[in-house]
Amino acid sequence: MNGQRPPETLEGKRARLEPAASIDPLELLDLDWARSLHPAMGGWMTRPPRPGPGMMGIRDQRDGAVIGVLDAVEMTGYPGVVSVSVYADPARRRAGTALEAYALFVTWLFEHGARLIHHEVLELNHPIQRILRGIGVPPSARFRHHAYAAGQFWDVLVYSFDAACWDRVRTSVVPRAPGAKPPALPPSR
């Protein structure tokens, strides 16, 4: 990310990303509460009084509802390695909207200096594991009994991928509308 802040908005067909600081704080608290109830998300997450610059809200383009959040934080001591977290409330999400938001965000991160996207996933979070496996990203590390959630200790799986992997995903895995041209790839670094 090289210290750059996400833009005011990122627009897709289904999803619109906007800085979390521009979203009603009560909506964010409501999302955080829903997130904390989901065992795969690891429980309550304490946020600073004002959302950080790497947090974006996911808004559904069709009705304007806030359905989730994305967080990106450059990992201390690892230049260009960005830890990304995504949460879409199961009661609010619509098919494909959160996935499109994730794709917009990760593309923006790579275009603005990210070297690797990093995810830490609780072993019980099977939906995210299926998505990452489906795009061809295997876990690169496993921390045994590393996190406590849902009444027991779980392994934490670490996934990471670089821009070359993401370019392959964007051009071959992410479905496109019939007749749509493949997305333009950023110049090689």
Q: Answer whether residue 185 is part of any domain.
A: no
Q: Judge whether 110 lies within some domain.
A: yes
Checking if the pLDDT of 3 tops 60, the result is: no
Residue 29 lies inside a defined structural domain of this protein? yes
SS3 173: helix
Q: What angle do CA 67, 70, 71 make, to 5 degrees?
A: 150
Render pLDDT for 41-98 as a digit per residue (tens, 0 to 9): 655 555 444 566 688 999 999 999 999 988 899 999 999 999 998 888 888 777 788 8
Is pTM beyond 0.95 here?
A: no
What is the count of structural domains for the chain?
1
Cβ burial 18-30 (10 Å sphere, 16+ → b, else e): bbbeebeeeebee
Specify the CATH number for the domain of residue 148: 3.40.630.30
Print the domain residue range for 145: 10-173
Average of pLDDT values for 163-174? 83
Establish if 2 belongs to a structural domain. no
pLDDT of 17 strictly over 90: yes
Task: Express each pLDDT in 109-124 by its tens digit.
Answer: 999 999 999 999 989 8
